[in-house]
Amino acid sequence: RLREADAGFGEFIAALRELGMYDDSIVIVTSDHGDSLGEGGRWGHAYTIFPEILRIPLIVHLPPSVRGRVAVNPSGLTFLTDLTPTLYALLGHEPELKNDVFGRPLFAASARDLPAAARAGASSLVVSSYGPVYGILTANGRSLYIADAVNYTESLLDVSGDPAAPPLPLADDTRAAYREAVREAV
């Protein structure tokens, strides 16, 4: 299946080039979610928001005429909600509402207008689309608190290292602070 998808995408890109449209095209390749494939004994993607579920590919091709006039932070924290405002902004229609609910353009005229700058110092709420599982991704993107109302568990994970690493200790005061952050964000 992967070979078929790869071949189909390759044919699409080849057609854009053949038609002389590739250098005028914005092409985005991504996914709706990741999958647990055994990390820490976890499998699947329903009712969870583990790091491997949140991390997805994002490849963006910009026309050469656009590339030179925009700033980008390829290591910045990005959400799928950022894609629509990104397309609008690249097409000359700056979004009026720029926030984490509606997303933020991934490219900007200057680095200070990028989402990473706007998100600096702020944590982000992440939610499973299948059930009541909420998380707080810290501002630096290094840790993820998960409140899982499906399995009645809470955990704190270091998302910067080994995906199979055991959860971090979760002290009562830290747990209370994260619970409050989830309540406020929801």
Q: Tell me: the pLDDT tens digits for 56-90?
A: 899 999 999 999 889 888 877 888 999 999 999 89
Residue ranges with strand state E in 35-166? 36-37, 43-44, 58-61, 71-72, 107-108, 124-127, 133-137, 143-148, 153-158
Q: Does the pLDDT value for residue 37 go beyond 90? A: no
Q: Percent of the chain scored above 90 by pLDDT?
A: 44
- The whole-number pLDDT of residue 119 equals 67
Please return the burial class of 85, using the count of CB atoms within 10 Å of its CB with bins 0-12, 13-18 and 19+. Answer: buried
Mean pLDDT of 1-29: 96
Tokens matching residue 62: 């910009």
